[in-house]
Every structure is written in C-alpha cells, then in structure tokens.
Structure 1
Amino acid sequence: MLSTLRTIVQEVNSARDLQEALSIIVSRVQKAMNTEVCSVYLLDPATNRYVLMATEGLYRKAVGRVSLGYSEGLVGLVGSREEPINLEDAPSHPRYRYFPETGEERFRSFLGVPIIHHRRLMGVLVVQQRESSRSFNEGEEAFMVTISAQLSGVIAHSEATGAIGGLSLTGEEAHDIGFDGVPGAPGVAIGTGVTVYPAADLDLVPEKTTDDIEHELDLFQCAVSAVRGDIERVAARLASQLRPQEQALFDVYLRMLSDEALPDEVNGKIREGNWAQGSLKQVVQQYVRNFEMMDDHYLQERAVDVRDLGRRLLSHLQEGEQASLEYPERTVLVSEEITPAMLGEVPKGQLVGLVSVKGSSHSHVAILARAMGIPTVMGLVDIPVNQLDGKELVVDGFEGQIFASPSADLRAYYQVICDEENELIRGLEALRDLPCETTDHHRVSMLVNTGLMTDVLRSLTHGAEGIGLYRTEVPFMIKDRFPSEQEQREYYREQLEAFAPNPVTMRTLDIGGDKCLTYFPIQEENPFLGWRGIRVTLDHPEIFQLQVRAMMKASEGLNNLQIMLPMISNISEVEESLHLIYRVYHEVRKDGYNIHMPKVGVLIEVPAAVYQIRELADRVDFLSVGTNDLTQYLLAVDRNNPRVAPLYHSYHPAVLQALVRIAQDAHAVGKPVGVCGELAGDPGGAVLLMAMGYDSLSMNAASLPKVKSVIRSVSLEWATNLLADILLLDSPHVIKSCVDLALRNAGFGRYMRPGKSTGKTLAEVASASA
C-alpha cells in the first residue's frame, strides 16, 4: 500500500489541472482498492453544494451535473461529520440519496472519507461495491483516509489554479473569487501581477504564450548548444579521472540533447505557441513522471538526471531574462518567497503591492513592507504564483486576501478604500510636529524601527522622536561578505546624524532564525531555538567588537548612540557583552576619539528574560521588549509558518500578562522600558502598552501617525480602564474584538479597516487630534 500511495501521489502531483488530478485519483484508487466505483465530490464554494467531479464506475455523463446540498445524502453526512462513514448496505441508510443519472443503484457497499485541507472541507472521496456482503475493512478505510490527507493539498492547489483562470468547479465562468492568506502589511493595492521566481527552478516557471515563435526557438537552440558545450568540456576535463562506465553518464546527457530527443519535443511545444521556458518545463516534467513511475530502481533514478539537465537548460534560458523584466506602472510583486533584493529591482514609485506564498505577517519581509507602506498578503500556500503573472490583482492587506481579475464593481469598491486611506494619511500630516501626549497630559515617546535609509526619510516626515530599533543586520544582509569597520561606520553615521540629538538605539548583529547571511550560513533543524542573536556574536567576539567599535566611532560629536543586546536569556550573556563593550570603549578613547560611553540595554524577547527583569535592569541602562519574538516563544508558534499563523496572536492573555509584569518589574528598579515590536504599531496595542506603563513605543514609520492620533485623542485613565477590562478576558480573539470595539466607539474605526468604520468622521478625528 505504501508503494501504491507513493505512486498515486507522484502522478497526481504532476497533473496539469484539477480535472486531470481528479481523474488520476479515481482511476488509481479504484484499482488499488479493487473496487467497482471510486468518485470524488468537491464542495463548490460559490454554491455550497457538492459536485460530482470525477468517477470510475458511475455513468460519466453525471460528472459535473450531479450535485448535493451541503448536508444532503451520505456524501453530505461524511462532510458534516468530517469523518469516514463505512456502510455494508448504503441504500438502507436513512440519509441515502439516489440519483438515477449516476447508475449507482447497482452498488450497495459505501465508504466515504472527507477531503480536508487546513481545516477547510474540500469534498468527499467515495468508493462503492456491488456485493452487499462486502464491507470495507479497517485497513482499506485507513488507506482511504491517508490518500485523502495526502492529496488534499494538491486538490486545493489545482482548484486555485482554475479559479485564477476565472473558472468555477463546474467549468463555468466565475467572478471575484478571492484567495485567503494572512495580512502582511495594511492597505489596499490595485495593480498588475509580476511573478518573480528563483533562477533555474522549473516548478515555478509561469505558463506564457508567445507571438514570436521563431525567437523562442532560437533562444532554446542557443541554450541547447550552450549546455551541450558545457557537458563536452566537463567530460573532456575529467576523462582521465573517470572509469568508462562513469564517463558514459556524459554520453547519456548528450544523447538526451540530440536533435531527435528532448529538444525535438520542446520545439514541438514552442510551435504550439508556448514560450521556451514553459515548453521546457512541460517536457521535462513529463519525462520525470515517466521515469519515477517505472518499477526498475535504476530507471527511477534517471529522473534525477533529466531534472538536472532541465535546470541547466533553464539556467541558460533565464540569463538576462529577469534583468530585462518589465515592471508595469502599478506593479504587484508575486513570488514563492519575497526577498528584500526583489523589492529593490522594481523601479522607484512603481511597486504598489506584494504577494508571497511563504511567510506570515510577522516575517521580516512583512515588517519591511510595513516600513515602506506597501500593502502585502503573505502565506497564500495554495496559490500557483505562475498563474498570477500579468493578471490584474487586488491586494487587501487589511484582511489578508487577494482577488485575481476583479470585476468592475469589486475594483470600484476597493478604489474607494484606497482613496479613503490616502485621505486619512493626508489628514494626519498636521500631527507631525505635535507631541504624543494624552488628553490628561501623559507623554509617550514615539520612536521608529529602521534598517534602510529610506526608513529614515519616511520617519522624519512622520515626526519620529528617535530610533527605538535600528536593525544592524540589514547592512550585513545586502553584502556578499562581512562589511568592514569603515563600511559599517558609514551606515551607522547616517542614522545617528539623521536623528541627532535624539537617541538612536542600535541592536547588535541579530542573525539566525529567519535572518541568514549567504556568506555565513547557519544550518539547523530548529533555527529559532538555535544559534542566533547574542549567541552568535559572543561566540565570534571579533565580529561583535568590530561592530561596536564602528558604532562608537560613528557617534563621535553626536553622542546619541544607544546599544541594545538581542536574544538575552542569561545574566552571564549581559555581563560578557558589557565586558567587551567597555573594552572597545576604552580602546576607541585611547585612539583619540572623543565619545561618551553609550547607554546599553537589553531586548526582552525570550521567556527566561521575563523572569529576570530586575536582575537584568541592575546591569543595564534600559530595557526594550521585542513583542514579535516574545509572542512566538511564549506561544510556541513559528511566526513565519502560515500553517500555524492563526495561533500567533499578540493579544493572547499570556502575552499581555507577561508585558504587564515586565513594565512593573522594570519600573520597580527605576529603569525605563519600551516596546519595539509590531504590537506598538497597532493603535489598539499601543493604547494597552501605554496603559501598562511603557515609556516609549517604537514602530514602523507608516504606523506612527495613526498611533499618535489615537493616543492624543484619549486619556490615560480611559486606556487604564480598558486594560483592566481586557485583562479579565481569556480569549485573544475576544480581547482583540473588545479593543477594536472600544476604538471604534471612540471614533477610530478607520484605523482598523477603512471603508468599514463607524463613529466620527475623518475631519472630526483629524481636528480632535490636532
């Protein structure tokens, strides 16, 4: 059964579309189960009805025509219970529903299992048998459950592919079908999708047609010639080192590249109107499927050779292709995984939205997107990104949704939201130079998180009072080697000068987890609990001391530098860090630099640190809380994993209780404490943090005007009462709803979701804030 299961999964994974995938499923499962009927019913989200989508054993004319209500028949019973139903005599069951057009009156035994993907009921897989005496045994039932679980993701992916093309399950034209991810950065964008994919990855090559067939044929022929030449040169160079049977591998590659072999089939696809890269992908994947399905182990392994050859050809085809990529005036960048480098490729002013299959709202790309004010949706795990290239897209960063090829009505609806958001931003510009002070005169420092110089420019125009977190890893990540002391010094001086005399808090190098350096790879099974942050730099004091030296030299004449230590979990780490920092300070002073000893603080982001606040505060000048990692570690939820994204919640009672304790313990020993996590940039979160007693809030620049507007319009007493009320609640979702309701009633509904607000008008809010 394991071998059968593997074969079926491989076949279905390689299907071109949903119908082919379903046809493979019913055919192979029927054979594997040795039964007369296998059928797949999918739940159509448009009608909330089950549609017979594929069958082996029932009348084919019923496919696409037979449908059942959500709770109708045995299929509906399986779906509503979300568990298998195994019957020897199905027609005698009170929920049995007979459809004459299927011809199923001949079959009595019934076994149905639900198809569920990420908690979403997608359909039901059914097998039936003529003899009433046969009952499907436990092993067969377990096999059906296993195959359903294995294939649910493939079915979801194929269904999404069809929906993006504007087709419903039944093949009818569909409109305004949205896809759900998680919000990455707030806002709404309307633009044209541009798919960017890693080099030489066949699976991610988008499907495109071409009008210039001769050009594509020439491109492919050049690639074949280049790869053939590469292989011949390598074979010649290694000829004296290899035995004849090993040398034969190169001959196999060259035979596959002969005109009558793989190139002939690719040329045929190109002549049908497909571009060269897509044609290569189709042919190579078909070769791979054929080899992997063979029983002979040696032949199965040849799939690896074909895949490698395909990558080599694709690499030559892609040379210069990404560099010459054309970006529309309103570009929505789409990728399996968005990287900072991809953002930099889009011409200035043309990037309006981001869509990423991987990542969540708390991944670093999402944080960067919020800093840049670009609406973003992350974690769209079932979306085939290659289908979004060239499509008009709506990106709803508030709700975490995208819509492909929207109707005129939907486009108009979202355009209104865009206009409201722009109006709101203009209305808040008057707050830039006003202090962040409540109506009863409680003052909170408003700081920003930065990493790039563009962050600084945006921060200054939004009225930031300093930098609460400068991510020093950014200069390291954009290099292909460790930056020199002079290079680091120049980066740090830019930040320090821009905000002088206000404080600039620089976090020492924080790599590991989801922040990797290509030239300093860290390979771990569990990177977030591994070698990261201060653990790396204390193990490499040469990196730590060089960085601190660059910071101190950059601060000469400004003296607004503050140093913050990340990922602290032990007192000994602080003491060792301070020892190195003081050593560098005295060395720099000895070299003739007239600097002051910078304040040193600790970033509280590990649960162990929550219970050592007093001891930590005795050794440093200030404390700051990184709510992103603290939430991740308290809840044991990887914040970059979209599968568990709903479990990550900054309003979780455990997180709020920890934040209350941190503020109380820090103030008990007379040390200032701030927050530099994303919770500070959420208007509701900022109000709660202020009520807890935090002295400063640091956030991305785009969030600063909204947070300042809210704080200037409420009293500390009002915020304290709200905090007292929500600390009695035990559900993060209820807490978030209560905070949102309180802000809506105070007139700030627009800050949570433009277009759906109640309360004061925009003019009233802006006027009251100013």
Structure 2
Amino acid sequence: MLNVLRTIVQEVSAAPDLETVLNLIVQRIQRSMHTQVCSVYLFDPADQCYVLMASEGLNKEAVGSVRLSASEGLVGTVVQRAEPINLENAAEHPAYKYVEATGEERLSSFLGVPIIRHRDVLGVLVVQQLEVRRFDESEEAFLVTLSAQLAGAIAHAEATGSLAAIGGPSDDVMDLRFGGVAGVAGVAIGTATVISPPADLGSVPDKAAKDIEKEIASFQEALKLVRRDIKVVGRSLAQRLRSEEQALFDVYLRMLDDNALAGEVVSRIEQGNWAQGALREVVSEHVHQFSMMGDPYLRERATDIKDLGRRVLAYLQEAAPASLEFTDETILVADELTPAMLGEVPSEKLVGLVSVHGSSNSHVAILARSMGIPTIMGAVDLPLTRIDGRELILDGYSGRIYVQPSKKLLTAYSDIVRCEQEQATELEALKDLPAETTDGFVMPLWVNTGLVADVARSLDRGAEGIGLYRTEVPFMIREFFPSEQEQADTYRKQIEAFSPRPVTMRTLDIGGDKALPYFPINEENPFLGWRGIRVTLDHPEIFLVQVRAMLKAGEGYDNLRIMLPMVTSVGEVEDASRQIDRAVRELQDEGYAIKRPLVGVMVEVPAAVYQVRRFARRVDFISVGSNDLTQYLLAVDRNNPRVAGLYVSYHPAVLKALQHIAREAHKEDVTVSICGEVASEPGGALLLMAMGYDVLSMNATNLPKVKSAIRSVSKQDADLLLKEVMAMDDADRIQVFINERLEELGIALPAQPVIAV
C-alpha cells in the first residue's frame, strides 16, 4: 500500500490542473482498493455546498451537478463530524440520502473520509461497494492517509487550475487569491514580472513567442552546442570508461533527436510558447513519466532528462537572455528573490515584491522593509510560470495576492493606496516633532538599519538613534569575510551620519535563516543550533576583528553601543565582555583614542527572560528582540506559511514576558529597549510605552505612524489600554480590542478592503 500511496501522491503533484488531479485520484483509488465506486466532493464557496467533482463508477452526468449542503446525506455527516464514516449498509443510516442522478442505488457499503487542510474541510473522499460489508481498518487507514497527503495538492490544484484555464487578461476568471506570509506591510497594484535564476527550468515562465522562427532557430542552436559538449565529455572519458558506460553518452544524444525531446519542444514553440517555456513543459512531462516507472534504471533517467534540460536552457539564456519588460508599476515575482534581482528593476518602477520561497528575515525582505516596498514571502501555491504579465494586487497587510482582479476589487484597493499616500504626506510634517504624548511624556523612537541607504531614509523620518544595526548585512553581500578596515569603513558611515545620536551595533548574527554563502552552516534545526553569539564566541578571530572595526569606526564620536545577540547564559556575556575589553586595550595600545563603549545584550530566547536581572548587573543596557522571542515562546516558525498565522505579537504569554523584562531591567536601573516588529505597530508601541520601555526601535517606514499614534494619546490612555489588555486571555480578541480602542482614540489604522473577497 505504501508504494501505491507514493505513486498516487507523485502523480497528483505533477498533474497540470484540478480536473486531472481529481480524475487521477478516483481512478487510482478505485483500482487499488478494488471497489465499484470512488468519488470526490469538493466545497464550493459560491453556494456553500459540496459538489461531486469526479467519480469512477457513478453516472458521469452526475459530476458537477450533484450538490449537497454540509447537513445533507452521508457526505454532509462526514463534513460535520470532520472524521471518517465507515458503514457496511449505508441505506440503513439515518443520514442516508438517495440521489437519483448518481445511480448509486445498488451500492451498500460506504467509507467517507474528510479532506482537511488548515482545519477547513475542503471535501470528502468516498469509496462504495456493491456487497454489504465493512471496509477493514487497513483500508480506512489507507484512505485517511491518502486524504491527508492529497489535501495540499488539491488546494494547490484548485487555485492554479483556475489560472491554467485563463487564456489572457480579457478572460472572465477574476480575483484569484493566493496566500503567503506578509513580509512588508502595504498595498501594491501592478503587473507581474517573473524573473528566474540562470538554468532553473522550474521557474521559467510561459511567454508568447514574438517570433516563432527565431525561437526555433535559437533552440536548434542550443541543441547543437549541448550535443557538442556531450561528445567532448564522452571523448575525454573514453579511456576511463567501459564500453557500456560510454554508451550512456549515446543515450544522451538520442534523447536530443528530433524524434524525441527536440521534436516535442519545436512543436510547443509552433503552438505559441517561447523556446524556454516550451523546453520547461516538455522536460517536466518526461521527468514525471520516468519518475513514475517501476524499473529503477528507467526512474533514474528522469535525472538525465533534467540535466539535459538545464544544459539546453543555459545556452538559450546565454544566447537570448530573457528580456524583462518593466511597467511603471512592476511587481517583481520569483521563486526566491535575491538582491541582484531587485537591482534589475528601475527603483522608480518597483512597487511590490513576491517570493514563492524565502523568509521574512531574508536579505531581500530586509532590503524591502528598509525601502518600504510591500512584500509577500512564502507564496508557495502561486503558479509562478503562469502569471508573467498579469495584473496583480499585493496585500502586504494580510499576505494575500490577487491575480487578474475585478474592477470592484481594484477600486477597493486603489482607495487604500490613495489613503496610504495621503497619510504619508500628513506624517511628513511630524519629522522634527518629538514623540510626545498629550500630557508631556516623551518616548524616544529609534530605527533598525542594515544598509547605508537606510541612513538618509531614517534621518528623513526623524529617527533619534539606531536601536539595531544589522552588521550581518554587509557580510551577506560579499563573497568572503570583509576585512577589518572594510568593516570599519562601513560602520563609520552609520556612526558618522547619526552622530551625536546613539548607534547600536549588533555583533554578527548568522545562523538560523541567515547564512553566509562562504560560511555555510548546515543543520537540521538551525533556529536551535549554532547561531548568534554561539558562532562568534567559537570564532574569536571573527568576533575580535568585528569589535575592533566597530571601535575604530566610533573613534571621535562617542555614540557607539555594542549589542550581543542570542545570549542564553551569564557565561556568554562574560566571555564576550572579556573579548571586547581585549579589543579596547589592543587599540588603545596601538594609539587609537577610544574608550569602552556601552555594551548590552539582546533578550531573544525564553532562557534570557528569566535572567534579565543577572544580565543587567553585567551590562549597560537590555534590548529585546521581540521577533525571535515571540517565535521561541510560541514555538512557531514565523516564516512557515503553515503556522505563520499562529505567530501573534499580542499573545498573552508574549505580552507578559515583555512586561516582565521591562520590570526586571529597571530593578537594576538599566535602560531597556525593544527592536522587534511589535514596536512598529501603533497599538504595540502604546503597550510598550505603558510597560516602561525606554526606547522603541523600528523600521524607518513605520516610524512616522508610531510617532503620530503617540502624539495622539495621553500616557494615561496608554496605561489604561495596557491594563485592559493584560486582563485578556485570547490573542485574537486582544487584536480586535486594540484596533477598536485605537479608533476611539482617533488613531488611523491600515486601511482594509471595503468589499468581501
């Protein structure tokens, strides 16, 4: 059964559209379980019914026409219970409903299993048999396992299948919605430009061939070059290979014959797809066919075909690089966005970013956040190859992407964009005003930076200091560790520009989802692995060079603060302090006029929460990294789309931990700041101010909004809000309550669509 299960899942995953997926499911299950009938019912949100979408054994005319509500028949009972129902004589069950169109009156036994994804019952998988008998436990377990495996594939096919049927922008299919992880808040309306890395077949988009003859000629030239390469390699290895092994190169060449892959690609080009897209289609189909074969030798040929496809694509891209066309409102889309890809788009034309993979902490996400570009990461169901040139709406508040939006939806989101622009204009007037409440309480607002470009943007928005300078960013954009002098030059630009305002530099924080290409860290669980201070303490040569560079950069300015990330023990703090003291002494001996800067630690893990006072006795300041702290407290990877919805800053446990940290730090008369995303939200900023945080640090884009919120309330208003929130025990209710209270206080919230979508 395991092999059958694997085969069905593989076939379904490779199917091009929803109809094919469902037909494959019912055919394969009916055959493998030796039943008379297998059917799939899927939920139709339009009329809130479960529709018979595919069947092997029932009347074909019934497919698409039979509809059952969630309270009708045995299918409805499966939906309501959200668990399997196994009956040896279905007609005797009180919920049984005879539907004449299906032709199922002869059937007796019934096994129905819900197809569930993210707690929603997408549909019901049903098998039925003529004789009266109960399906055994192994059969039920097989169907339950299969439904769990298929849920994601069906949801993906349901979304992409609709798009696959679209022929062009004028078609009637509108408002197709795909979900991801909100990376940068904001709304963008524009045209998708799909960009793919070199020789990556899977991300090559479909495009209409502008000149079919030219596309065919380019493909034939690429084939010729690949054939030449294969012959050269074959000849160079001839003396080291046996004759049967040499024959593999002949197999490669035959695969490229006009009667094989090459002929099929040419045919697809003639049908209108450009050469690269046609190649991707043909190679994908052949890889799928070989992968499904029972013979191990033949299965391995799938790898050969993929290799050939990549080789041909590389020459196609080299001869005729994909000509990217950027509209005035370009939304850049890629399987995994890179900084180099961002650089290809004129900055004045880039309005949004979408990455199928990647995290909200990736280098690109950091860049987008500092630039204020609405961004969505982890849009894993987005049909990358089919959306180039289509109109999109990117909702960076909810993490939603709409393909080919209707006029109604465009109007709603256009209103949001206009409101955002008007609000931004109004907030510009606050640049030189303090973040002071109506009753005179001043709340210092600092910024998080990582690039030189962040400096001007931050100062332009009225930042009073840098609460977090991500020193790993200069490391990430190089191909090797930057030298001490290179680091010093980079750091000095931040320190000099902000002087005399404080600049807090975090020591190198790599690991987790922030890897350096020249210093790979491969771990099964990187977030609980070798990262942050653990890496730099194990490599004092890296730590000392960086600290020396920071101290050199700060010479003559006296505004440098050094912060240690991912600290879990007093021992780590003491070890790092000794290294910093050593660097100070060395530079003083070398003639530099420096003194020991303020040194602090980041509270990012639960272990640090309960050692704040011990840390505070050994350092000059405490800073909370609320993003990681929330992630660790809730055991939620915020970059995983499956559980990203569970990552909530207003969870009662998170709020209690944040309040505890502020109180403990102040018991030792040590200042406490926070540099996570919760400080970037007006509601979060008011709660943190009431908790007693001395500094709030955020991305520059959100600073004016937070300043406006603080200037709109009294300290007493914030204290009351905190008191009421801390008495609540549900994160969703807390969020709703905060939003309601902010509206009562006259604080503008991010606009939301005014229509149901």
TM-score, normalization by structure 2: 0.96
Listed as ranges, the gaps of 5+ residues in structure 2 are none
Measure the CA separation in 2 of the matches of 1:360 and 1:739: 27
Cα distance, 1:322–1:467 mapped onto 2, change above 3 Å: farther
Aligned-residue offset at 1:713: 1.7
Measure the CA separation in 2 of the matches of 1:493 and 1:174: 54
**Residues 271-286 of structure 1: matches in 2 within 5 Å?**
271-286=270-285
Cα distance, 1:593–1:710 mapped onto 2, change above 3 Å: same
Aligned-residue offset at 1:756: 6.8
Q: Which residue of 2 aligns with 1:551?
A: 550
**Residues 372-411 of structure 1: matches in 2 within 5 Å?**
372-411=371-410
Measure the CA separation in 2 of the matches of 1:285 and 1:755: 39
Measure the CA separation in 2 of the matches of 1:649 and 1:364: 23
Measure the CA separation in 1 of the matches of 2:450 and 2:165: 40
SS in 1 for 2:643: helix
Aligned-residue offset at 1:34: 0.4
Measure the CA separation in 2 of the matches of 1:7 and 1:179: 27
Q: Check whether the contact 2:83–2:113 (CA below 8 A) recurs between aligned residues.
A: yes
Measure the CA separation in 2 of the matches of 1:286 and 1:356: 25
**Residues 172-571 of structure 1: matches in 2 within 5 Å?**
173-319=172-318, 324-359=323-358, 365-571=364-570
Measure the CA separation in 1 of the matches of 2:165 and 2:730: 39
Q: Which residue of 1 aligns with 2:17?
A: 17
Cα distance, 1:22–1:567 mapped onto 2, change above 3 Å: same
Residue 485 of structure 1 aligns with an amino acid whose one-letter code is E
TM-score, normalization by structure 1: 0.94
Aligned-residue offset at 1:507: 0.6
Measure the CA separation in 2 of the matches of 1:747 and 1:322: 52
Measure the CA separation in 2 of the matches of 1:447 and 1:321: 47
Q: Which residue of 2 aligns with 1:751?
A: 749
Q: Which residue of 2 aligns with 1:74?
A: 74
Aligned-residue offset at 1:287: 1.9
Q: Check whether the contact 1:601–1:622 (CA below 8 A) recurs between aligned residues.
A: yes
Q: Larger deviation: 456-465 or 300-309?
A: 300-309
Q: Which residue of 2 aligns with 1:92?
A: 92
**Residues 111-150 of structure 1: matches in 2 within 5 Å?**
111-131=111-131, 133-150=132-149
SS in 2 for 1:592: coil
Residue 68 of structure 2 aligns with an amino acid whose one-letter code is L
The Cα offsets for residues 2-61 of structure 1, whole Å up to 9 and x where unpaired, read as 111111112112211111111111111110010111111111122222222111111212
SS in 2 for 1:646: helix
**Residues 555-594 of structure 1: matches in 2 within 5 Å?**
555-594=554-593
Cα distance, 1:734–1:289 mapped onto 2, change above 3 Å: same
SS in 1 for 2:280: helix
Measure the CA separation in 2 of the matches of 1:616 and 1:345: 46
Cα distance, 1:322–1:75 mapped onto 2, change above 3 Å: farther
**Do structure 1's residue 729 and structure 2's residue 690 form an aligned pair?**
no
Residue 102 of structure 1 aligns with an amino acid whose one-letter code is T
Q: Check whether the contact 1:398–1:753 (CA below 8 A) recurs between aligned residues.
A: no
Q: Percent identity?
A: 61
Q: Larger deviation: 665-674 or 196-205?
A: 196-205
Residue 37 of structure 1 aligns with an amino acid whose one-letter code is V
| Count of aligned residue pairs for this structure pair | 752
Cα distance, 1:44–1:392 mapped onto 2, change above 3 Å: same
Q: Which residue of 2 aligns with 1:55?
A: 55
Q: Check whether the contact 2:739–2:749 (CA below 8 A) recurs between aligned residues.
A: no
Q: Check whether the contact 2:374–2:396 (CA below 8 A) recurs between aligned residues.
A: yes
Q: Check whether the contact 1:200–1:315 (CA below 8 A) recurs between aligned residues.
A: yes
The Cα offsets for residues 623-661 of structure 1, whole Å up to 9 and x where unpaired, read as 110000111111111121111112211111111111111
Q: Which residue of 1 aligns with 2:616?
A: 617
Q: Larger deviation: 522-531 or 321-330?
A: 321-330
Aligned-residue offset at 1:733: 1.5
Q: Check whether the contact 1:231–1:250 (CA below 8 A) recurs between aligned residues.
A: yes
Cα distance, 1:156–1:352 mapped onto 2, change above 3 Å: same
The Cα offsets for residues 586-642 of structure 1, whole Å up to 9 and x where unpaired, read as 222222222232211111112111111122112111111000011111111112111
The Cα offsets for residues 337-387 of structure 1, whole Å up to 9 and x where unpaired, read as 333333233211111112233356566644543322112233333222222
Q: Larger deviation: 458-467 or 313-322?
A: 313-322
Cα distance, 1:33–1:114 mapped onto 2, change above 3 Å: same
Q: Larger deviation: 158-167 or 346-355?
A: 158-167
Q: Which residue of 2 aligns with 1:46?
A: 46
Q: Larger deviation: 59-68 or 641-650?
A: 59-68
Q: Which residue of 2 aligns with 1:110?
A: 110
Q: Larger deviation: 590-599 or 36-45?
A: 590-599
Measure the CA separation in 2 of the matches of 1:222 and 1:122: 48
Aligned-residue offset at 1:323: 6.6
**Residues 147-186 of structure 1: matches in 2 within 5 Å?**
147-164=146-163, 173-186=172-185
Cα distance, 1:177–1:539 mapped onto 2, change above 3 Å: same
Aligned-residue offset at 1:165: 5.2
Measure the CA separation in 1 of the matches of 2:397 and 2:635: 25
Measure the CA separation in 2 of the matches of 1:347 and 1:481: 28
**Do structure 1's residue 659 and structure 2's residue 658 form an aligned pair?**
yes
SS in 2 for 1:106: coil
The Cα offsets for residues 431-484 of structure 1, whole Å up to 9 and x where unpaired, read as 111111112222221100001122212111110001110101111111111112
Listed as ranges, the gaps of 5+ residues in structure 1 are 758-770
Residue 660 of structure 2 aligns with an amino acid whose one-letter code is R
SS in 1 for 2:701: helix
Q: Check whether the contact 2:507–2:562 (CA below 8 A) recurs between aligned residues.
A: yes
Q: Larger deviation: 220-229 or 336-345?
A: 336-345
Measure the CA separation in 2 of the matches of 1:756 and 1:7: 45
Aligned-residue offset at 1:581: 1.3
Aligned-residue offset at 1:754: 5.3
Q: Check whether the contact 2:363–2:476 (CA below 8 A) recurs between aligned residues.
A: no
Aligned-residue offset at 1:711: 0.9
The Cα offsets for residues 533-580 of structure 1, whole Å up to 9 and x where unpaired, read as 111111111111111111111122222111111111111111111111
Q: Which residue of 2 aligns with 1:626?
A: 625
Q: Larger deviation: 616-625 or 259-268?
A: 259-268
Aligned-residue offset at 1:260: 2.8
Q: Which residue of 2 aligns with 1:765?
A: none
Aligned-residue offset at 1:717: 1.8
Q: Check whether the contact 1:206–1:389 (CA below 8 A) recurs between aligned residues.
A: yes
RMSD (Å), alpha carbons: 2.1
Measure the CA separation in 2 of the matches of 1:446 and 1:662: 19
Q: Check whether the contact 1:359–1:641 (CA below 8 A) recurs between aligned residues.
A: no
Residue 64 of structure 1 aligns with an amino acid whose one-letter code is G
Q: Larger deviation: 5-14 or 70-79?
A: 70-79
Q: Larger deviation: 173-182 or 393-402?
A: 173-182
Measure the CA separation in 2 of the matches of 1:367 and 1:120: 33
Q: Check whether the contact 2:17–2:164 (CA below 8 A) recurs between aligned residues.
A: no
Measure the CA separation in 1 of the matches of 2:455 and 2:529: 32
